[in-house]
């Protein structure tokens, strides 16, 4: 089962931000999403991608990435490698809230996801000013892409993902790769979403999604409203 965020306090967590500058990082981070396509689609060598995977799942150093959002929220991306599992977990976090952290997705044996629809992911691409962490919009898109699982992505999504891939070294011929990456993580795939106007929240119909109910529906009204503004600023 996915760890609550607080459990990482005694784990060997390290800052993953420097890894984003490594050419093979994206081929390793997205490896589950492009099965059947050559790793060279990213413009990197397969051996380099394999070496990066070993670094990401090093039991002695678990990379963590912080994606700053509005209102003090962050998406925390944690790699973790224990004795019996390897997983990548995505939490929505606010430092002043006792939420036990909201799990958006986890690639562990429980298969938690998808955690974002396309309109939400697009709304998170631009980082708020003055924050540390992952602020480049191309990096934010690719880092959060495994959380996506939307059966109704628009045509322009392919162009946005391809643009992000090329910004990080992929060749101009990467459109087939971009299309593949938008089909969703194999643990949960792509699912229908709808916007519940009464709850002011996107709802996912995926079997394994934590978004089958409104996000943070157990939180006080003020915090719920802040989450809504964070993920659906224009809704």
Does a structural domain hold residue 15?
A: yes
pLDDT value at residue 4: 45
| Contact assessment for residue 49 and residue 40, using Cβ atoms and an 8 Å cutoff | no
- Residue 127 lies inside a defined structural domain of this protein: yes
Q: How confident is the model at residue 29 (pLDDT cuts 50, 70, 90)?
A: very high
Strand, helix or coil for residue 64: strand
3 in a structural domain: no
Domain interval for residue 65: 10-231
Domain assignment of residue 215, yes or no? yes
Overall domain count for the chain: 1
Q: Find residue 81's DSSP bridge partners.
A: 86
Within a domain: 25: yes
Residue 154 lies in a domain: yes
- How far is residue 43 from each of residues 25, 40, 188, measured CA to CA in Å? 11, 5, 27
Q: Is there a domain that residue 79 lies in?
A: yes
Residue 115 covered by a domain? yes
More confident residue, 4 or 152: 152
pLDDT at 216: 83
CA gap 139, 127 in Å, rounded: 11
In tens, the pLDDT along 83-111 reads 667 889 999 988 887 665 689 999 877 78
Check whether 76 has a pLDDT greater than 90: yes
Higher per-residue confidence, 164 vs 234: 164
pLDDT in tens, 204-219: 999 999 999 988 888 8
Does 231 score more than 70 pLDDT? yes
Contacts of 129 (CB under 8 A, 6+ apart): none
Helical H segments across the chain, by residue range: 25-29, 46-56, 118-123, 137-144, 156-167, 175-181, 221-231
Q: Which residue has the higher pLDDT, 231 or 232?
A: 231
Percentage of the chain beyond pLDDT 90 is: 68
Average pLDDT over residues 131-158: 97
Instruction: Tell me the C-alpha distance between 59 and 183, whole Å.
Output: 30
């Amino acid at each position: 089962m996915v760890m609550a965020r607080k459990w990482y306090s005694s784990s060997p967590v390290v800052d993953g931000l420097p890894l984003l500058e490594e050419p093979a990082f994206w081929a390793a981070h997205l490896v589950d999403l492009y099965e059947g396509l050559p790793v060279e689609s990213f413009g990197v060598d397969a051996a380099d991608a394999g070496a990066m995977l070993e670094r990401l799942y090093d039991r002695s150093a678990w990379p963590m990435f912080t994606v700053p959002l509005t209102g003090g929220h962050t998406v925390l991306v944690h790699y973790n490698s224990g004795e019996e599992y390897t997983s990548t977990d995505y939490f929505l976090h606010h430092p002043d809230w006792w939420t036990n952290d909201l799990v958006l997705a986890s690639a562990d044996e429980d298969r938690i996801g998808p955690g974002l629809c396309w309109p939400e992911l697009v709304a998170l691409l631009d980082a708020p000013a003055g924050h540390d962490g992952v602020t480049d919009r191309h990096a934010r898109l690719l880092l959060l892409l495994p959380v996506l699982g939307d059966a109704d992505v628009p045509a322009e999504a392919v162009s946005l993902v391809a643009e992000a891939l090329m910004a990080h070294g992929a060749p101009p011929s990467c459109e087939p790769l971009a299309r593949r990456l938008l089909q969703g993580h194999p643990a949960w795939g792509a699912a229908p979403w709808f916007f519940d106007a009464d709850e002011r929240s996107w709802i996912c119909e995926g079997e394994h999604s934590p978004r089958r109910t409104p996000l943070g529906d157990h939180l006080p009204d003020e915090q719920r409203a802040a989450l809504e503004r964070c993920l659906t600023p224009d809704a």
